[in-house]
Structures are given as C-alpha cells and as structure tokens.
C-alpha cells in the first residue's frame, strides 16, 4: 500500500521548467537561485530531487548532488566558501537539497546528517573524474626524477 501511495505521489515528476541539469557554471547556480525564490518553483524542485532516491542518507545526498552539479562546478564550491570558492551553505539550493533528501531517504534524517554528506561530497570533488589518479601519477613521476 505504501509503495502505491509513493508511486502516485511521484508519477509524472519532471524537472521544473527553465532548468537544465546538471548545472555547469556559477551563472547557472545564480539563475537557479533566482528561480528558487518562487516558493512554487522551490517545491517543484524539492519534489523532483526527492525522486532521486538512495539506500541511506549519504547515498541519497550524493545522488542528489551529482544530479545537480557537474564536478567542475563542485570544484568551485565549498561548504563555507573559503578562498575563491563560493559558499554552498548560503544558497537556497542547499535548503532544497536538504528538503529533497528528507523526502527521499528511507530512514529518519537529520539536517546535520545531510549537511555532513554534502560537505564530504564537495570536499571529495577533486578526487572524482580522474583527479586522484592524476595526482598519484604526478607524485609518482616527481619521485622518479
């Protein structure tokens, strides 16, 4: 019965209009932030991202973040926004991600758990898309010289 209710709630869920995911640039984030100021649009986005799913809080958060941002954009963000990086915690999008994970995760979720998973995902951006392998190869070639 629960499965039937969930299917009805998420049937026909499509990305909100005027949006192409994943986001590629800071300008895309700025555009989305403007759109998210409209409460109806924000709710549509939460419902859409809430359909991503996952087996636990960390997996759900990673899947939501990966569906939102390309890795090159994630490299330009951090939780607090230190240095040249932009703060993710100050974005409306952060609140949307937290709400979507609350909606999607199969267990009780705290904001702190979602925030911790976002921090880890942002921190590890440089390791994705071959970044770790590239650093290891550079380190290996420097040691041989």
74-128 pLDDT tens trace? 999 999 999 999 999 999 999 999 999 999 887 889 999 999 999 999 999 998 8
Cβ–Cβ under 8 Å, residues 48 and 97: no
Whether the predicted pLDDT of 7 surpasses 50: no
Cβ–Cβ under 8 Å, residues 98 and 114: yes
Average confidence (pLDDT) over 39-50: 95
Q: What residue ranges do the domains of the chain occupy? A: 22-144
- The predicted structure's pLDDT at residue 130: 65
**pTM to 2 decimals?**
0.81
- The predicted structure's pLDDT at residue 87: 98
- The predicted structure's pLDDT at residue 125: 93
Rounded percentage of the chain residues whose pLDDT exceeds 70: 81
Residue of higher predicted confidence among 82 and 18: 82
The two three-digit tokens of residue 109, written as one number: 């979720």
Q: Please tell me the distance from the alpha carbon of residue 48 to that of residue 64, in angstroms, as a whole number.
A: 10
- The predicted structure's pLDDT at residue 24: 97
Q: Please tell me the distance from the alpha carbon of residue 75 to that of residue 85, in angstroms, as a whole number.
A: 8
End-to-end CA gap in the chain? 65
Residue of higher predicted confidence among 129 and 58: 58
- The predicted structure's pLDDT at residue 10: 47
Radius of gyration of the chain (CA): 17
| Region label for 12, one of left (φ > 0), alpha (ψ between -120 and 50) or beta (otherwise) | left
- The predicted structure's pLDDT at residue 12: 56
């Amino acid at each position: 019965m629960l499965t039937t209710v969930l299917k009805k709630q998420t049937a026909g869920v499509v990305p909100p209009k005027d949006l192409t995911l994943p986001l590629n640039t800071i300008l895309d984030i700025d555009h989305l932030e403007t759109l998210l100021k409209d409460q109806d649009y924000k709710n549509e986005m939460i419902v859409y991202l809430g359909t991503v799913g996952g087996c636990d809080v960390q997996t759900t958060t990673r899947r939501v973040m990966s569906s939102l941002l390309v890795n090159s954009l994630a490299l330009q963000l951090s939780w607090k926004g230190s240095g040249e990086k932009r703060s993710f915690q100050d974005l409306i999008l952060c609140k949307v991600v937290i709400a979507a994970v609350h909606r999607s995760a199969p267990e009780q979720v705290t904001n702190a758990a979602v925030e911790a998973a976002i921090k880890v995902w942002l921190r590890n951006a440089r390791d994705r898309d071959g970044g770790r392998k590239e650093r290891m190869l550079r380190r290996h070639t420097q040691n041989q010289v």
